[in-house]
Amino acid sequence: MAFVTRFAPSPTGPLHLGHAYSALLAHDMARAAGGVCLLRIEDIDQSRCRPQWEAQIYDDLQWLGLNWPEPVLRQSDNLAAYDRALSKLDQFCYPCRCNRADIRAALSAPQEGVLHAGPDGLIYPGTCRHRSLAETTEADAIRLDITKAMQDQSVSYCEGSTIIQADRAAMLHSVGDIILSRRDISTSYHLSVVVDDAAQGVTDVVRGMDLQEATKIHALLQRALCLPTPIYHHHRLIRDEQGKRLAKRDDARALSKYRAEGATPADIRRMVGL
């Protein structure tokens, strides 16, 4: 099977050196394997995405010397596909009306012990788990009941040639019942990324190590939706001098800033160690 990967930025700010590393690495791997690297715009959160950032993504990537097949998939154009996938998961889902303060309060109860976070923030304590989808209201988000979705089997995926596995206890402890559809956005990062990777025939996902925990959720959703699980390659993160991971708001490392200062794409490659 041909190697198909993708670079999937969200247009919520300028691309920085960390994005450049991820995009260049994915393209280099695809080229070395005689495959293809797609570009996907992950813009489901319309309250944070801006057309100007999307335009700059195309511009920055072209400047870096990257190209991709057209048309580019924009997740905001694909919401119906995520709705269809969500409805296939009904048997594992429940409505949830807890906000962050409710979750924090429930977790602070003496019997719950130390607060710890998973890929989506605090691990949900399961307060609404007894509720049924039939009683969903406008004020509810939809959560995945991890215990039900796992059906007594561990989840697994390949990190390169290494098999990573998580059993139900590990998933409950480190991931918890994640949100699949929010009140304001009818899908979630986890659901849309899994649907799109499968629809676009992605065989290999190249992305930062910050998404490694989330991959267990993706493997679980792929199994529940009868979708193939790609091979994952989580790469090191580009950090600043203080060792902190670069963030979108970290304009100082924006590619556009290096461009304006006269850097070349070769300089960017050197800066990220490629």
Task: Report phi then psi at 100, rounded to 5.
Answer: -55, -40
CB of 253 to ligand GLU, least distance (A): 15
Closest to ligand GLU by CB, 76 vs 127, is 76
CB of 130 to ligand GLU, least distance (A): 32
CB of 147 to ligand GLU, least distance (A): 25
Q: Which H or E element spans position 213?
A: helix 212-224
Nearest by Cα to 87 from 190, 194, 225:
225
CB of 166 to ligand GLU, least distance (A): 18
CB of 8 to ligand GLU, least distance (A): 4
Closest to ligand GLU by CB, 98 vs 219, is 219
Residues 6 or more apart whose CB falls under 8 angstroms from that of 161 comprise none
Chain residues binding ligand GLU by CB under 6 A are 8-10, 42, 193, 207, 211
Count CB neighbours of 116 within 10 A: 11
The three-class DSSP label of residue 122 is: strand
CB of 157 to ligand GLU, least distance (A): 13
The CA distance from 200 to 4, in Å, is: 8
Closest to ligand GLU by CB, 106 vs 237, is 237
The three-class DSSP label of residue 231 is: strand
CB of 208 to ligand GLU, least distance (A): 7
The CA distance from 122 to 112, in Å, is: 12
Please count the helices (runs of H) and the strands (runs of E) in the chain. 10, 12
Tell me the residue ranges of DSSP E strands in the chain: 4-7, 36-41, 73-74, 93-96, 117-118, 121-122, 141-144, 155-159, 162-166, 179-181, 204-208, 231-235
Closest to ligand GLU by CB, 211 vs 263, is 211
The CA distance from 260 to 258, in Å, is: 5
Closest to ligand GLU by CB, 245 vs 270, is 245
Closest to ligand GLU by CB, 53 vs 92, is 53
Q: Is 57 left (phi over 0), alpha (psi -120 to 50) or beta?
A: alpha
Closest to ligand GLU by CB, 94 vs 232, is 232
